[in-house]
């Protein structure tokens, strides 16, 4: 009758790649892939350094803000398309608060 059951404390955590959030690790992974495709060691090193710089910039930008800050920023600053449009929220060009 005595079993160890795991009770999660947080259900809405950000996705992780290892210890890093996805939005912080994605620039490094993307630039790693681009550098690998480039074919030379110098361009690989430059791409990897650029990816690390971008990820550190994003992590500093996200510091002390909402965990989904990057998603919110993308919603407000990218153009709406059928792929990025959300149904439950108004379009990003409507910025008038009601209430």
Q: What does the block give as tokens for 59?
A: 């992590």
- pLDDT tens string 16-39: 788 888 888 889 999 999 999 998
pTM over 0.85: no
Report whether pLDDT(1) > 60: no
Report whether pLDDT(98) > 90: no
H or E, element range at 16: strand 16-17
Whether the CB-CB separation of 92 and 76 falls below 8 Å is answered with yes
Q: What does the block give as tokens for 42?
A: 């110098």
Report whether pLDDT(3) > 60: yes
- Domain ranges for the chain: 17-77
Report whether pLDDT(78) > 90: no
């Amino acid at each position: 009758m005595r079993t160890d059951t795991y009770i999660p404390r947080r259900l809405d955590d950000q996705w992780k790649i290892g210890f890093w959030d996805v939005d912080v690790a994605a620039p490094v992974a993307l630039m790693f892939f681009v550098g690998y495709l480039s074919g030379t060691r110098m361009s690989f090193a430059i791409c990897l350094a650029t990816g690390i710089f971008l990820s550190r910039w994003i992590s500093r930008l996200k510091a002390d803000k909402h965990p989904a800050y990057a998603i919110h920023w993308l919603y407000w600053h990218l153009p709406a398309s059928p792929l990025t449009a959300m149904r439950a929220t108004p379009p990003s060009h409507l910025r008038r608060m009601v209430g």
